[in-house]
Structure 1
Amino acid sequence: MTKFSNSLVVGAFSGATGAALGSPLLLVRTQLMSSSDSSIAVGTQHNHQGSFSALKHIFSEGGVRGLWRGTLGMALRNSVSSSMQIASFSVSKDLMDKNHWFKHSNKYVSAFFASNVAAVAKSLTTTPFDVVTTRLYNQPVDNLGKGVLYQGVADCARKIATTEGPLAFYKGLLPYYFRQVPQSILLLMFWDVLKDLQKTFMGKNDEKR
């Protein structure tokens, strides 16, 4: 359980840190991706001309605070995403290795299947936060650059649950999962390979001593 707890803590911290630093760019990305021709437009249209134009416009409306609007939602999303991905991978891989599920196969087969478990866990736990964060990022703002539809993460989640029902939190779950599968496999299998290389390198250094 110690390894599981450590994975959760480290993953949550790294995810929240990344969200805090990158939130303005994620805000711009969400608004640009939501922008479309008026004949097919869905949701709030911000009509930015590009990334730098969007940053300038958002800053002029709400200042620094406007650029980091919705950061709490993204911090929660990334904390859950990173912690669940790392922890579920570590626990499931240890379980497979200890029970010798793939003892006659390549040593990285367990890492492959564990990364798929991580993709499932990450998708199920992250999608609700993704839905909330997207709503926060893409809502219209007043003349001070403050969102007019939602007052924050809790208010947004409450309104979604009340008006659309609990299943609304899992809109886009399937495509999110299929996006996560290759990402999890590549990221976590390379991580496993790098850990083995580190052990080999450290072992050689110990022998030299």
Structure 2
Amino acid sequence: MALSEKPSRNSLIPNFLYSSTSARTLALDRILHARPTAAASPDVEPIAPRKNFIIASPEEPSKKIEMYSPAFYAACTAGGILSCGLTHMAVTPLDLVKCNMQIDPAKYKSITSGFGVLLKEQGARGFFRGWVPTLLGYSAQGACKFGFYEFFKKTYSDIAGPEYAAKYKTLIYLAGSASAEVIADVALCPFEAVKVRVQTQPGFARGLSDGLPKFVKSEGTLGLYKGLVPLWGRQIPYTMMKFASFETIVEYIYKYSIPTPKDQCSKSLQLGVSFAGGYVAGVFCAIVSHPADNLVSFLNNAKGATVGDAVKKLGLWGLFTRGLPLRIVMIGTLTGAQWGLYDAFKVFVGLPTTGGVAPAATTAATELAKV
């Protein structure tokens, strides 16, 4: 049987499938919105018409995160884990040399000689000794630090009210970051104790798996928190400076250096501002928290040591300056990278970058950010 060039009216393939785009769209719309006719079989249940038939394109997110909702804080917590855990693990060699310079300055006289001594005695693998407690400890700390900072910043802003939150925003940044760090250090402290012991006493343990039980056997479970108060002394001023100075620096960058409003800047420019603001903030952090950092290293290295012993051995000048240049480089880079990673993750999930806008209380709580 000869076939005609054009499909017949009885063709099994509906003609709208090979018709023009507009006709095809119109036909689909008619099918999807068609109402059952009177001749329809009574045994067939009619399908209710849909008012909208929209499939989100790959560029259109299908979910939304409400600002200051549990999902928002969960995203900030995840960003904190990535930013702190990965960056601290990456600078483990610098941290290793710094800790040994603080504990044994006669042997580790400078940054370059410190790396030379480690390379000669322990090989290249020795530069990453203690990376596991570093990764886990600072991941836990970052989760609490960033997640609770966002929570306390919003809470304190709500308590103050829009007018006072805008007027005393720096105090809110300081109070929110201090509150978050108190919690974060409780999570960090056991890992920090084991890390310092592993890094400064070769042969003590290979890492966390054997170092933690050996530490507990030697000094008891409470011994893991022996350095908590000095850790608070180091980390709380550090974090207050880290968050308050970052928020202020970023605000000034957008206000005085970039003529375009933040919400009109590209995401890459915003992330560049986050890194720059974080690096400058990190330099201030290192200077403010360095004496307590020396105390933490000393107390976790020497069994039964006290703060008085540390001050007596290191001296007041040494307490403020020993290992400081290396720590400025390390903390500046670390803090800049942390803010860059944290805000990059927020951008990835569709949230705005940190800083450069009014405090949380002046922002509508119902503002939505696409994921």
Q: TM-score, normalised by structure 1?
A: 0.78
CA contact (8 A) 2:129 2:206 kept: no
SS at match of 2:160: coil
Once the two structures are superposed, residues 114-145 of structure 1 have per-residue CA deviations (whole angstroms, 9 ceiling, x without a partner) of 112112112211111111110110112xxxxx
Rounded to whole Å, the distance in 1 between the matches of 2:75 and 2:188 is 19
Instruction: Tell me the equivalent position of 1:102.
Output: 160
Q: What one-letter code is carried by the residue in structure 2 that aligns with 1:125?
A: A
1:4 paired to 2:73: yes
User: Does structure 1 residue 64 correspond to structure 2 residue 124?
Assistant: yes
More helix by share: 1
Q: Point out the more displaced range, 83-92 or 101-110.
A: 101-110
- How many corresponding residue pairs? 187
- What corresponds to 1:122 in structure 2? 184
Unaligned runs of 5+ in 2: 1-69, 266-371
CA displacement at 1:61 relative to structure 2: 2.7
Cα 1:76–1:203 change in 2 (3 A) is closer
| TM-aligned CA deviation for residue 204 of structure 1 | 6.8
CA apart distance, 1:197? 7.4
Deviations 1:151-208 (A, max 9, x none): 3202111122223111111112112212222222222123444379769923577xxx
Cα deviation code 1:92-116 (max 9, x no counterpart): 222333xx31115243143232112
What is the CA-CA distance between 1:30 and the residue it aligns to?
1.0
Secondary structure in 1 matching 2:205: coil
- Structure 1 alignment gaps of length 5 or more: 38-46, 141-147
Pairs within 5 Å for 1:176-195: 176-193=231-248, 194=250
Greater Cα offset, 194-203 or 67-76: 194-203
| Corresponding position of 2:174 | 112
TM-score scaled by length of structure 2: 0.46
Alpha-carbon separation, structure 2, partners of 1:54 and 1:161: 29
Alpha-carbon offset, residue 83 of structure 1: 2.2
CA shift for structure 1 position 48: 2.7
Equivalent residue number for residue 146 of structure 2:
86
Partners of 1:186 and 1:151 lie apart in 2 by 34
Aligned counterpart, 2:134: 74
Supply the distance in 2 between the matched residues of 1:32 and 1:80 (Cα, whole angstroms).
26
Partner Cα separation in structure 2 for residue 122 and residue 114 of structure 1: 12
